[in-house]
Chain A
Amino acid sequence: MTVREEHLTTEGLSAYAEQAGLERVGARPKLRRYIVEAWRRRELAATLASYRIHAAMGQNRLGLVWIVLRPTLLALMFGTIFFVILPNSSRPDNFLPFLVVGVFVFEFFSASLGQGARSIINNQGLVRSLNFPRILMPMATVLQRVFEIIPVAITMMVIVALSGEPITWNWLLVPVVLAIMAVFNFGIALIFARLTVHLRDLTQVLPLLTRLMFYSTGIFYSIEAVLADRPDLLALARLNPVYDYIALVRAQIVTGNSQTMEMWIVAVAAALLCFIIGVIFFWRAEERYGRD
């Protein structure tokens, strides 16, 4: 038994809705409007990021100390392992500060990638119950990383200074490099946040990808020294933006590491390109998030 008082054909209803001035619900807004709306609601991303840090750390006894303790222990571990297994000759100069910068800066990238990729699927509850531009979710995860990189970068610089590196005016460029890198990380997080929604299996592959990046980016060895006789591979490795960000930070605070104009160009271009592609790519699937 079906009773429908207002039985109308499909065209009839949509025309009726339009005539009454109703708008389609959940329709993906135009890119401009989307960005304006997301910007207007940016407080949500920032608040979520800072609450998350407190919540995650509140469960541990040492709390916020872990933000700096984790990369420090990681650097210590790698330092010990590679100091033992790598022969003296293949270790870059100023090994300790070289490695510390590599590990700390790479953590900024890998955490943004890993958690950014899960930012939609891990927040299904929020995404399914409230309406807001979904881009705020990856934005919150990357912002969380940005908040965390501040104490991490300070710790990094303290360790580097303690290891005997001279403090110069160039140290002031470190936040600049990290700021450019944050834009790059945001773009990457956006791209992977959407990809994981389409292909859940990606979360299994991602740690592998991160590991591969870790070993190929020259965290504990000098790419220039290892690939000295393979200029083609070296050129390829230098195109990896993560390598450029690490190399640029090293160039500012660790002696014996030089910077070129080309590195700055790759760093800025990669950040802008990733950001633009990321925003558009993520926005195009706006209606899709939260459906499964």
Chain B
Amino acid sequence: MAATDTRTPTVVVDGIDVEYRVFASGKAAGNQMSLASLKPKGVSTYRALHDISFVAHEGESIGVIGHNGSGKSTLMRSVAGLISPVKGAVYASSRPALLGVNAALLPNLSGARNVMLGGLALGYSKAEVEEMYEDIVEFSGIRDFIDMPMKTYSSGMSARLRFAIAISRAHQILLIDEALAVGDKDFRQKSQERIRQLRDTAGTVFLVSHSMKSIRDVCDRVLWIDHGRLMMDGDPDEVIAAYEGKA
């Protein structure tokens, strides 16, 4: 029972359901669209998460696994407070920061300007971002391209930059969505090092990945999500074995 647990909880996810409104663009849906009723029938709701509950504690790093479209990223967005659940709630000791591959900042702007905007959006002042700028660029390892528009970056480059921006702040709760998969070996090692540091300073890290190796390397607990439901929650080796056995 969590209530008898002596560890300090950082994130409590309490029975959340998440729904997406989907704008159908098919011909059939378009024909069904009725102006008279003013109810757009082309819009349907899709339940992405179904009654998910768990508690995360200080110093835990939790892997999240599941096949494509199972709801892993949606879960991360809900924990970050970017999507509000239709049922249930997420509680956290501090504002969780989400770092995802798809988090396009502003593609027309240079890497340098995205560093500034990302820093400001994380809550820093302009002066603070300027102070950290060198470290962020150094960590990202893409100094040569920092003045080019972000849309010209490869997916690996932009993921590195985003990771560098997000990690610049000492977040207590960090959610990492596939960001490690795209980097090269050096960068992965550097990032994993950083994640371990964070975990050791009583932070909580969530890591979404399809790479069971990086999950095993960093995580001490794994959640398996399937079709929006929490299938399993526990020891990495056990959960991964069950997941791979099923796949």
Interface residues, chain A, with chain B CB atoms under 8 Å away: 1-8, 10, 12-14, 16-18, 20-27, 41, 43-44, 47-48, 51, 55-56, 58-59, 125-132, 200-201, 287-288, 290-292
Contact = CB atoms under 8 A, between A and B. Distances in A.
A41 B123 contact: yes
Interface stretch (B114-122, B184-192, B211-219): B114-122
11 contacts: A1-B232, A23-B91, A47-B117, A55-B108, A125-B102, A125-B106, A129-B102, A129-B103, A129-B104, A129-B105, A292-B21
Best-buried of A3, A6, A17, A25 by chain B (most CB within 10 Å): A25
A51 B104 contact: no
Contacts of A10: 14-15, 53, 88
Contacts of A292: 20-23
Interface in B214-247: 230-234, 242
Best-buried of B54, B81, B97, B102 by chain A (most CB within 10 Å): B81
A287 B82 CA distance: 8
Contacts of B3: 8, 12, 16
Contacts of B55: 6, 13, 16
B117 A48 contact: yes
Interface in B88-106: 88-93, 95-98, 100, 102-106
Interface of B: 1-3, 5, 8-12, 14-15, 20-23, 40, 53-55, 77, 79-84, 88-93, 95-98, 100, 102-106, 108-109, 113, 116-118, 120-123, 125-126, 230-234, 242
Contacts of B233: 3-6
Given A44-B117, A131-B81, A24 B231 contact: no
A13 B12 CA distance: 7
B230 A25 contact: no
B125 A287 contact: no
B236 to A, nearest CB: 13
Contact of A4 (B96, B100, B123, B230): B230
Given A25-B92, A200-B23, A292-B21, A17 B12 contact: yes
A126 B106 contact: yes
Query: Which secondary structure dominates where chain B touches chain A?
Result: mixed
Nearest to B18: A291
B118 A24 contact: no
A131 B80 CA distance: 8
Contacts of B234: 3, 5
Nearest to B97: A131
Given A12-B3, A129-B105, A291-B83, A26 B231 contact: no
A156 B228 CA distance: 58
Nearest to B54: A6
Contacts of A12: 2-3
A82 B21 CA distance: 47
A208 to B, nearest CB: 15
Best-buried of A3, A4, A41, A56 by chain B (most CB within 10 Å): A3
A172 to B, nearest CB: 32
Nearest to A292: B21
B231 A1 contact: yes
Best-buried of B20, B88, B91, B116 by chain A (most CB within 10 Å): B91
A250 to B, nearest CB: 37
A129 B91 contact: no
Contacts of B98: 129-130
A149 B232 CA distance: 57
B83 A16 contact: no
Nearest to A56: B108
Given A43-B126, A126-B105, A26 B12 contact: no
B28 to A, nearest CB: 19
Nearest to A13: B14
A41 B119 CA distance: 11
A48 B108 CA distance: 12
Contacts of A47: 116-117, 120, 126
Contacts of A18: 91
A59 B102 CA distance: 24
Contacts of B40: 201
Closest 8 CB pairs of A and B: A26-B81, A129-B103, A17-B91, A22-B91, A17-B12, A25-B81, A125-B104, A13-B14
Contact of A17 (B14, B109, B117): B14
A292 B18 CA distance: 11
A70 to B, nearest CB: 19
